[in-house]
Structure 1
Amino acid sequence: MNATRKVGLVGWGAIGRVVGTALAEHRVPGAELVCVVDNRPLGEGAPAPQLSFDEALERCDLIVEAAGQGVVREWGERVLASGTDLLIASTGALTDEELAERLLAAGPGRVYFTGGAVGGLDLLQAVRALGPLDEVRLTTTKLPATLEQPWMDDELLSRLRTATGPVEVLAGTARDIPVRFPKSTNVAASVALAVGDLDTVRVQVVADPGAHHTRHVVEASGPHGAYRFEVAHLPDPGNPATSQVVPYAVLRSLAALAGRTGQIL
């Protein structure tokens, strides 16, 4: 019988609240919410005590990151070096290859990531075993306001704010795009991790004022076949930069790590 995973949750935002509430209500067998780490007060009704990162590492055997790429960069190696496992929601951090290599080498804790708002990653991983894909394209479409970034010049910001239809914001590889949109394009990193090559995945970011759903289209082809996946999610009402489904993808990954059996994972 598997021991109960003692979970420390980093982040009490749109993702963290859903994940933390589900854990506190014992909806993930084999996982127990021990604490929440956040640099802001949690307020009344938090389902677990708010602890420092150091305290969380002392009490937990699994840390769930739900607070952004910066947490992975700042704390990832230390979490793993302490012997604590790490589940990453902000996969965009892993497009920094030096960081990814350091995390893989850190141990003895193990690092995991969740696919978040995109499907088909398991199939892409399987196809990758047959040989490299020739072409992989990801087109992500979101509301313009969710894509505004500090590095944008006045001309681009004006195009976003006055758009009456779809507007291409930026195109590049999965190596480049998640760095430019750290809260909006973790999907690009997840696809690249599945494919195994950051530079093969070409990414187009589109702003559309009529985008009631966040849309991701993955198209891949190679010697062994051609594949297309399309998903359209409702944005989270509290944080439109992320999709409502993301915390549930985190919970599914948690369930797998907690030892759920009898289903295809």
Structure 2
Amino acid sequence: MSTIRKVGLVGWGAIGRVVGTALAEGQVPGAELTCIIDNRPLGDAAPAPQLTFEEALERCDLIVEAAGQGVVREWGERVLASGTDLLVASTGALTDEDLAKRLLAAGPGRVYFTGGAVGGLDLLQAVRSFGPLDEVRLTTTKLPSTLEQPWMDEELLTRLRTATGPVEVMSGTARDVPVKFPKSTNVAASVALAVGDLDAVRVRVVADPGAAHTRHVIEASGAHGAYRFDVAHLPDPGNPATSQVVPYAVLRSLAALAGRTGQIL
């Protein structure tokens, strides 16, 4: 007899609402929405009880993070130490190598990561078994308004707000960039996790006022081949910093954890 995964969902935003509604409607066989954790009162609109984190850990065997990197930093180890599994959507938190090591060493719960808005990560992981890649580049292009950050000076903000074409906002490694754009560049961390080296992934963040889609272009090369992945997603209308596909990537990961068969792993 199969075991039903009892899911606690952290966050009732652009990602959480889609994931939670699908779970509540029984769209993920083998998983049920047990509760929602959010620091805002959700009222009667929520399809499951709103609980505290402590209450959720008593009732759930899987916590799904859909609320940002801060949740992973604050609660990740405690979730795993309680024996509850954790599915992380905000992979940018893992650019903190100390945190990443602590999460991977914690238990008895297990930590999982979803690829979110980008593909090809499984292939990059497979290629890595041959040895390190010589070069990995990621270019992320988004609407300027989704990239504005509190640390930006007036000059850079003016460039973003008056741009008539693509403007490079930042370049660096996958160690540096997700820290500066915590809601917009989790993809950089996901690529780095696949490659196995935060410093090997060179990242460019581009603002484009004409960007109807959020675009991620990954280019990698090594002794055994060259690889290019180019994805363009519609932004979520309620939260343009997030691509519409992200909650469905979370649901796919949930389906795998719930034991659905017949899929590519």
TM-score range, shorter chain: over 0.9
CA contact (8 A) 1:42 1:50 kept: yes
Equivalence for 1:158: 158
Partners of 2:96 and 2:196 lie apart in 1 by 13
User: TM-score normalized by structure 2?
Assistant: 0.99
Letter in 2 for 1:120: G
Give distance in 2, aligned partners of 1:41 and 1:219: 43
Question: 2:8 is matched by which residue type in structure 1?
Answer: G
Contact kept? 1:31, 1:258, Cα under 8 Å: yes
Unaligned 5+ residue runs, structure 1?
Answer: none
1:239 aligns with 2:243: no
**For residue 167 of structure 1, what is the aligned residue in structure 2?**
167
Identity of aligned pairs, percent?
Answer: 89
- CA separation in 2, counterparts of 1:108 and 1:195? 26
Structure 2 SS opposite 1:78: helix
Runs of 4+ in 1 over 6 A off after TM superposition: none
Q: Write the distance in 2 (CA, Å) between the matches of 1:177 and 1:22.
A: 32
Secondary structure at the counterpart of residue 80 of structure 1: helix
SS in 2 for 1:130: coil
Quick one: distance in 2 between partners of 1:240 and 1:199?
28
TM-score, normalisation: structure 1:
0.99
Pairwise CA RMSD of aligned residues? 0.5
Report the alpha carbon displacement of residue 42 of structure 1 after superposing the two structures with TM: 1.1
**What one-letter code is carried by the residue in structure 2 that aligns with 1:260?**
R
Deviations 1:155-191 (A, max 9, x none): 0000000000000000000000000000000000000
**Partners in 2 of 1:150 and 1:65 — Cα distance?**
24
Tell me the residue number matched to 1:59. 59
Q: Which residue of 2 aligns with 1:127?
A: 127
**Match of residue 216 from structure 2:** 216
Structure 1 match to 2:140: 140
Report whether the alignment pairs 1:22 with 2:22. Answer: yes
- Cα distance in 2 for partners of 1:128, 1:106 equals 25
What's the offset of the Cα at 1:264? 1.0
Distance 1:150 1:46 in 2: 31
Amino acid at match of 1:89: A
Whole-angstrom distance in 2 between the partners of 1:124 and 1:250: 20
1:144, CA displacement in angstroms?
0.1
- Rounded Cα–Cα distance in structure 2 between residues aligned with 1:118 and 1:39: 29
* Letter in structure 2 aligned against 1:135: E
Report if aligned partners of 1:2, 1:258 keep a CA contact under 8 Å in 2.
Answer: no
Shift of 1:134: 0.4
Equivalent AA in structure 1 for residue 264 of structure 2: I
Q: Hey, what does 1:70 align to over in structure 2?
A: 70
Q: Distance in 1 between matches of 2:220 and 2:153?
A: 32
Specify the code of the residue in structure 2 equivalent to 1:166: P
Query: Which letter does structure 1 place at the counterpart of 2:158?
Result: S
The one-letter amino acid paired with 1:43 is: G
- What letter corresponds to residue 32 of structure 2 in structure 1? E
* Aligned counterpart, 2:253: 253
- What code does the residue aligned with 1:97 have? E
